[in-house]
Amino acid sequence: MKTQFRDLWRRKTLRCFLTATILFAVFLNFAPVLADGGIAMSGGFYQQAFIMPQGSSISGPSIYVVVFNNGSEELQVRMTSQAPPGVSAILSHSDFTLPPGGQQEVLAVVEVAQDTAPGEYEISITAESYKEGVSGIQLTGAATQRATLEVVGESALVTLQAVSPEGQPVVAMVRLYRVAAGQSHEIDYSETGTLTAKVAPGSFIAASYMGGQKVAEESFTVAANDEKTVTLMGATVYFEGFGLVPNYYSKGGKLAFAQIVYTVRNLYQRVAEGEVILEVSRDEALLEEVSLATLSPLDVGQVGLNYNYIPAGGWIDGSYSFKLRLKLDGKPYAASLVQQLEVSGSGDDGGGISPAAVGGIAAGAVIVGIAGWLLVRSRKKGHE
């Protein structure tokens, strides 16, 4: 009886030990990598197994680290990377300050030069906390993550294109993943709906997203020297026919306003409310955001709209960029490509709108008309 009790006790003890070991291992994979000085690091970089051809690069929202300040004092942090000759790990942040309890996400882009020797390597990213004193810089702590890299000599070319059910190009987030050992690793992405990437032969998954929701997905394989085009088709809501028409004063020829001409196309489903927001930047600095239209409801179909834009502070010489964003029921969903407008000799001379302005307005109408004609034409072809 005592022998049976001892055996039972040993088995229970062993199970508890194994359970604790497994939980510790799982926690270790997801917990921050701690180091002295209150600095810590987590993120998905260490989970990457990069397989890259010569002369290629890899980037994506899932290739990152997060640096934490777990201490009670503010930390000055310096980011560094270590890579073999011919390989670069480019970081989105190099030097920053973290308050107590603060954190900073750092994205990484890995580039392999054309003359990098094929083989297996290691890449590391290190976050160092430091203090500047009379005697120079003093390191107070550090944390590091490492990832593996295999450089190969063979390559293929993959092109992704997000389109509507009618085959029209759509501005969407497209992401490309390599599938290896049952796991998916992101290797490239684009926010324009189009992506071309040089990849190592293998298996892949391509996906498109709108408003954070997956619209389409396709799995495929490529061999050495292949040129593969993947069309990601899905029902969605997007901008069609977005353009700018500058309008000028008759005296002096200075810019009066920019007419924003666009169409909202809904091939998805009836939405309670859609809002169009215009994002304006000057010389790459955000100038303002303007709500252009509220569509309540936004029905399936298309709506042609326009808006005459004048900056709140008037026109100032510089390079203006215009981008449309669409919210559905208050949540960000779609965006347009960026349109540029160069402004010089700005200033309001009060001369009234010139024939050139009237021509501009007519041009805006033509843009909308052409978009509608193309739509009708494409539908007719679809029924032939």
Q: Residue 317's domain is classified under what CATH number?
A: 2.60.40.10
For residues 292-308, one letter each, b for 16 or more C-beta atoms within 10 angstroms of the residue's C-beta and e for the rest, the string is bbebeebeeeeebebbe
Distance CA 67, CA 149 (A): 22
Give the domain extent around 366. Answer: 237-383
User: Cα separation of 81 and 123, whole Å?
Assistant: 7
| 38 neighbors 89 (Cβ within 8 angstroms) | no
Cα separations (Å) of 164 from 191, 197, 201?
16, 22, 29
Q: What is the pLDDT of residue 151?
A: 98
**Phi, psi torsion values for 345, nearest 5 degrees:** 65, 40
Classify burial at 161, counting beta carbons within 10 Å of its beta carbon; exposed 0-12, middle 13-18, buried 19 or more.
buried
- Residue 56's contacts (CB-CB under 8 Å, 6 or more residues apart) are 111, 112, 155, 197, 198, 199, 200
Within this chain, do residues 282 and 378 fall inside the same structural domain, yes or no? yes
259 found inside a domain = yes
Q: What angle do CA 7, 11, 15 make, to 5 degrees?
A: 170
User: For 170-218, how does the pLDDT look when each residue is reduced to its tens digit (9 = 90+)?
Assistant: 999 999 999 998 899 999 999 999 999 999 999 999 999 999 999 999 9
In a domain, 28, yes or no: no
2 in a structural domain: no
> What residue type is assigned to position 318 of the chain?
G
Is the domain of 241 the same as that of 370?
Answer: yes
Give dist(CA 153, CA 297) in Å, integer. 54
Write down the pLDDT at residue 181: 87
Q: Are the C-beta atoms of 172 and 210 separated by less than 8 Å?
A: yes
Residue 231 pLDDT exceeds 90: yes
pTM above 0.85, yes or no: no
Q: Are residues 61 and 180 in the same domain?
A: no
What is the band of 367 on the pLDDT scale with cuts at 50, 70, 90?
Answer: very low
Residues 378 and 341 in one domain: yes
Q: Please check whether residue 122 lies inside any domain of the structure.
A: yes
Residue 369's contacts (CB-CB under 8 Å, 6 or more residues apart) are: none
Residue type, 125: I
Residue where a domain stops, chosen among 108, 124, 152: 152
CA distance linking residue 205 with residue 188, whole number of Å: 11
Hey, CA dihedral for 65, 192, 219, 235, is it positive or negative?
positive
Question: End of a domain among 211, 233, 255?
Answer: 233
Q: What is the pLDDT of residue 138?
A: 80
300-327 pLDDT per residue, tens: 999 999 999 999 999 999 999 999 999 9
Mean pLDDT for the chain overall: 84
C-alpha distances in Å from residue 60, one per residue of 57, 107, 199: 10, 8, 14
Phi, psi of 355, rounded to the nearest 5 degrees: -55, -30
Residue 26 lies in a domain: no
Residue 189 maps to a domain = yes
Length of the chain (residues): 384
What is the rounded CA–CA span in Å between residue 112 and residue 114?
Answer: 7
For the stretch 109-126, pLDDT in tens is 999 999 999 999 999 999
Say whether both 135 and 60 belong to one domain: yes
Same-domain check for residues 66 and 139 = yes
Query: What CATH number is attached to the domain comprising 192?
Result: 2.60.40.1120
Burial class (CB in 10 A: 0-12, 13-18, 19+), 372: middle
pLDDT at 273: 97
Q: Are residues 206 and 256 in the same domain?
A: no
Q: Do residues 288 and 311 lie in contact, with contact meaning Cβ atoms separated by under 8 Å?
A: yes
List residues bridging with 205 in a β-sheet: 177, 219
Number of folded domains that form the chain: 3
139 and 170 part of one domain: no
Taking the CB of residue 136, how many other CB atoms lie within 10 A of it? Answer: 8
